[in-house]
Amino acid sequence: MTHNETGFRYEVSTKDGIAYVDYRWSGEILLLLYIFVPVSFRGKGISSILLEHVLNYVSEKKIKIKVFCPYIAKYIRMHPEHQGLLANNE
């Protein structure tokens, strides 16, 4: 897992390319924009690994997030332990 700060991505390499979560900052809020996993690796848990890494980092740093990606939003709905990270949950 790599935090590519200049590219605003959390990344993991696969044999068919890079899986990543794109983000941007809006003040103190981390905006989670998009997740991508190469087609050949979809359904193999890569997105869960990526998201857990990002969400654990956010939790450790006490950062709030806003989610713009429907897949990430669904993941957080399915994992209520992360819902407290949402900026609009305060």
And the tokens for 50?
A: 């990526």
Phi, psi of 61 (to 5 degrees): -85, -5
3-state secondary structure of 77: helix
Cβ atoms of residues 51 and 75 within 8 Å: yes
Domains of the chain: 2-89 (3.40.630.30)
For the segment 25-73, what is each residue's pLDDT rounded down to a tens digit? Answer: 999 999 999 999 999 999 999 999 999 999 999 999 999 999 999 999 9
With cut-offs at 50, 70 and 90, classify the pLDDT of residue 89: low
